[in-house]
Amino acid sequence: MRTFLLLLTAIATPVFAQEKVFGDGSLPDFLKHFDTNTDGIIDEEERQAIRDLRAKLREEKRTSIDLNQDGEISKNEVAIARATLREQIEQRRLEKFSSIAGEDDLISPEEYMTIPGVNTLPDFIFDAIWSRLDADGSGAISPEEFLLRLRTH
């Protein structure tokens, strides 16, 4: 058992470590956008721009949740905001689904492999993810199966 665990760690670690590295080690894309003088470093001025944008987004989010604009966010408004957010996420997921699934509206294991990062997963991890997604064991992922895990949360 101990040997197995060690082996598992040895196999799994590079995969999980990889995810933390940003491409070639340069700035992640969302930060590149703020690196206005493109020197690869986010300086104090650029940091401030990021903070401003975050504050603005927070404010916009607040006012968009307060539907009747009375300055208070009611339980109902929170519920509506949640539903809207969920719809947006589902919409984005379905768009992603279609782009992977193609004409038949089903994702085959081969198509699933085309998602960046998936084809480098060790088989046993791929199998585990796949069997969770393909809930009915049909050998393909339907749009419903693709959204299932999101809905149950």
Taking the CA of residue 128 as centre, how many other CA atoms within 13 Å lie in the half-sphere pointing to its CB? 5
Name the residue nearer to Ca ion (CB basis): 46 or 66. 66
In the complex, what is the shortest distance from the CB of residue 64 to Ca ion, in angstroms, rounded to a whole number?
11
Reading the block at residue 71, the tokens are 């300055």
Contacts of residues 82-85 at CB distance under 8 Å and 24 or more positions apart, as own/partner, are none
In the complex, what is the shortest distance from the CB of residue 65 to Ca ion, in angstroms, rounded to a whole number?
8
d(CA 149, CA 130): 13
In the complex, what is the shortest distance from the CB of residue 105 to Ca ion, in angstroms, rounded to a whole number?
7
3-state secondary structure of 114: coil
Reading the block at residue 135, the tokens are 């809930």
Residues that bind Ca ion (CB under 5 A): 66, 68, 70, 72, 101-102, 104, 106, 111, 134, 136, 138
Q: How many helices (H) and strands (E) does the chain have?
A: 7, 0
Name the residue nearer to Ca ion (CB basis): 36 or 84. 84
Name the residue nearer to Ca ion (CB basis): 49 or 143. 143
Name the residue nearer to Ca ion (CB basis): 11 or 135. 135
In the complex, what is the shortest distance from the CB of residue 96 to Ca ion, in angstroms, rounded to a whole number?
13
In the complex, what is the shortest distance from the CB of residue 67 to Ca ion, in angstroms, rounded to a whole number?
6
Q: Measured at CB, which residue is nearest to Ca ion?
A: 138
Reading the block at residue 87, the tokens are 């719809």
Name the residue nearer to Ca ion (CB basis): 11 or 78. 78
Strands (E), the chain: none
